[in-house]
Amino acid sequence: MSYSKRNNHNTAGAKAPADIETLMQIRGAKAIHIIKYDKHGTKIQKIFGSLINFANWLKIYLTLRENSILLIQHPYYKGIRFPVYFIKKAQSEKRVKVIVLIHDLESIRGGITDIVKIQKDEADRKEKLILSCANSIICHNACMKKYLISCGYNSNIIIELKIFDYLYNGNLSNQSVCKELSIAIAGNLATGKSKYISLLPTLDHKLKIHLFGPNYVGETQISNIIYHGQFKPDELPQFLVGAFGLVWDGDNLNSCSGNTGDYLRLNNPHKVSLYLLSEIPVIIWKESAMASFIENNNLGLTVKSVYDIPQAIQNLTDEQYSIMQKNVVTQSLLLRKGHYFLTAMDKAISNMG
């Protein structure tokens, strides 16, 4: 078994792909390293980048053995012509089976800036080319599977991940776990990405809000809003505090809207995994794709509006919160050992025969 290795940086967005690579190596898979290149620049630089891309995928083709399995972590939009050519060549000549694991679908999300929106059609075209090569697709959840089926993909080859794992061997925050009016918000706090961050001061000041992440430029003098700074993904669980972790996105506090907010209807936000790994129950938008996972496993609360959070917490009894927290601890143990990806991978391999 092989997988194409991505270059990861010290960001939360790189945590999930890096964990997949680690789990693949534990299973004995071989990483196929590819040389990074820039497809932009002068005409000569673009030609040079195209040659590097050709060399990368020729190397992958030559490395793959008969009847092997290749895992591709998507998004993969860069220089799509050579990947598709060599993948199909390996499938026909070496009987290689291809599994595509979806991290994001930019054709749905459409980016967060006007520049990315303009490129949405291009992302959609390249996305279809990559997914058309898949013998099996691992998607986020039932909502995303339904969307893929509506796009014409065979339901029999689509496996639901359910939730992203979060590999972690360190200590967790030593906060005393109890029901209180407090939430943690972790992630990119830039208002350009999530405008709702700038509206937090309008919430009930009895609700304590702990913020973790880069690009926070909001109020720092409000007593109930505490900015803790930013941490590496493998360090953050040591510092997270709050009775619940909030999963929200978009333009306002009444509902998740805009590109990033509406995207919650289909995707598995990695911060859900972060909170559960950190043994913190989750509060998530009621219309999000992951709301059913939280409700069915009693791992937190679902709300229509952020303004509903104080009352939702107050309506919980201490016993109900204690049971919820115990369920979260059970999930934490599953996430830290890669239970969900390994289960999905086994099912994908079994389905391909």
pLDDT (0 to 100) of residue 125:
86
Do both 79 and 210 map to the same domain? Answer: no
Do both 149 and 11 map to the same domain? Answer: yes
Strand pairing class (182-186; 158-160)? unpaired
pLDDT (0 to 100) of residue 178:
81
pLDDT digits 0-9 by tens, 170-212: 999 877 778 899 999 999 998 877 889 999 999 999 999 999 9
Task: Evaluate whether residue 171 is within a structural domain.
Answer: no
As a dihedral over the C-alpha atoms of residue 95, residue 96, residue 97, residue 100, rounded to 10 degrees, the angle is -150
Do both 155 and 288 map to the same domain? Answer: no
For residue 322, the enclosing domain spans: 182-335
Task: Evaluate whether residue 132 is within a structural domain.
Answer: yes
Do both 149 and 204 map to the same domain? Answer: no
Cβ contact 294:282 at 8 Å:
yes
pLDDT digits 0-9 by tens, 240-253: 999 999 999 999 99
Cβ contact 166:109 at 8 Å:
no
Highest mean pLDDT among 29-33, 74-78, 217-221: 29-33
Task: Evaluate whether residue 98 is within a structural domain.
Answer: yes
Higher pLDDT, 277 or 178: 277
SS3 of 178, please? coil
pLDDT digits 0-9 by tens, 45-96: 888 888 998 999 999 999 999 999 999 999 876 778 899 999 999 999 999 9
**Per-residue pLDDT for 8 more than 70?**
no
Q: What is the spatial order of strands in the sheet that 244-247 belongs to?
A: 225-227, 208-212, 182-186, 244-247, 282-285, 300-303
Domain count, the chain: 2
**Per-residue pLDDT for 314 more than 60?**
yes
Q: Average pLDDT in the 150-159 region?
A: 96
Q: What is the mean pLDDT of the chain?
A: 90
Do both 343 and 329 map to the same domain? Answer: no
**Per-residue pLDDT for 29 more than 60?**
yes
Supply the CATH number for residue 191's domain: 3.40.50.2000
Do both 52 and 118 map to the same domain? Answer: yes
pLDDT (0 to 100) of residue 3:
55
Task: Evaluate whether residue 170 is within a structural domain.
Answer: no
Do both 326 and 344 map to the same domain? Answer: no
